[in-house]
Structure 1
Amino acid sequence: MTAPATFVLVHGAFSCAAHWGPVARGLARRGHRALAVDLPGHGLDARVVVGDPATSPSGMVARSTAGDVEVVLEAVRAAHEHGPVVLVGHSRGGLTTTACVNAAPELVDHLVYVSAWCCVTGGPTAYQGAPEYASDLDALLPRLVAAPPAELGALRVDWGLDDPELVDGLHGALLADGTRAELLAMLRSMDTDEALVIDEDAVRVDPARWGRVPHTYVRLGRDRVMPPALQDRFVAEADAAVPDRPFRVVDLPSSHLGVQVHPEPLAEHLVQVAET
């Protein structure tokens, strides 16, 4: 009997492994294993902000892309001993999964981006300022940022749960296809701090190594954080860099967080990846 696939699930910015719980349950019900990873400084490893948010030390200072890759590859190696591995990254998690496949393509049987960063022509800064990059979060950032990033050495936000107007904006940007209760549950479980520094070279697609692994892009058509135009640009640039192994593209009419709150469509498509 063919071994079931193990899905190694990598979260995005300010997120944690717990947010993959509904998708993991959907995969398990379909006979597959799922292992959601907490990147360093996230989940139970996150440092709680004590005192003044503008000055309280951050647990994300000096966190690096290399540290993220080390943790994910440890999980991938363990899973690889038991059968095929499907590596899945959501949002900023795509930076980590790209770097992992660049480093060890032999350990991954399929790579899936869920409305995730897939940098090809440069690192993330190469895409900033591009028309495709415009996000509904842009107008909210001045109210979200809780401390000067350069002084803190990390990105810190205040999700503004006591600010109805800010929550309205976050609802539209992050989870327009969900209820207010679902949004608040997600925001309460989000981390406040995120790493500031990204290794721009490590997270950029290496066609010779990354291109060895079949890859799927789950395009979220109602995403207002990672706009569909930016998702399409990632796919087009990757296909141009690796023309003999183009992306398999799956379209889901979901918001940025909708696939984790309402997981069944994504779980079904992930299983199809594993079975084909």
Structure 2
Amino acid sequence: MANTPLSPGLTKFLAQFVAAISGTLFAISDGMTYGWTAPFIPYLISNSSHIDTDHDEAQWLESSLLFGSFCGLPATIILVDFIGRKKSLLLASFTVLIAWIAIALGDSMIYIFIARFFKGMAGNMAFVAAPMYIAEIADQKIRGFLSSIIYIMMLLGCLIVYCVGPYLPYYTPSVIGVSVAVLELAIFSFVPESPLFLVTKGKVEDARKSLQHFKPYADVDKELKMITDELERQKEQKGKLTDLVTVSSNRRAILIMTVLNAGQHLCAYSVILMNLHLIWRLLVPSTWILLLQP
């Protein structure tokens, strides 16, 4: 059956795939950051460590990342609407690049603490900006799939650091993290900003070009009108903070997200990812430990 504007082939989504993949490469680095402590805390507190570290300092390596993520929330809320989704992702990637260099070259734990704090801030920003960006550029037929790429990338990052951390030199994950960040900066810099953000800034012609890039099969004028009408509707129906409680659909959404997030952390998701190597050494029989050790 021939392709029509309503049922385009996958090749017509190529620009959206490139934007989604290149814009979420940071998630590989974020996953590596999340799992970095699993192989490297045992190294840092060992006698062979190149940095003098005790158990108390090592425990703060995990907390510094989470503190950074929490503290980065206000900046994230402001920047995604002030400089845009694309520039927020690029800023996060650049921050992660500098942080990996600091971890590789730092000769004191203070450098690692600061680097992981800023990595937490960058990860928070990127994990907010990326879903927004993908939702605004993707066709609804593949929007769900493209939105899931970020989580696949993150888990891939965890797997990478788990595999290379115990067996290769200390700086190896940093080299991989820097390479991923450079690749995102090199590719994603040439991808257009989301058309919705451009319209909010009054850059209608730029938004038109962005739509032509991402959806060459669609009626650009119709898409642009839909975006404009939706923004006008949002301006006329401005929400209030109290709507989060007074509107039943909002209450339901808050309840669902609260239960899901609480469940994620109460099941020790973060603790397991950040300490997987130590957990394995406790759970796996001693004969297997000898095989798993480098």
- Please tell me the TM-score bracket, short chain as reference: under 0.3
Structure (1 or 2) with the larger CA radius of gyration: 2
**Structure ranking higher in helix proportion:** 2
- TM-score normalised by length of structure 1: 0.27
- TM-score normalised by length of structure 2: 0.26
Q: Which has the higher contact order (CA 8 A, sep 6+)?
A: 2
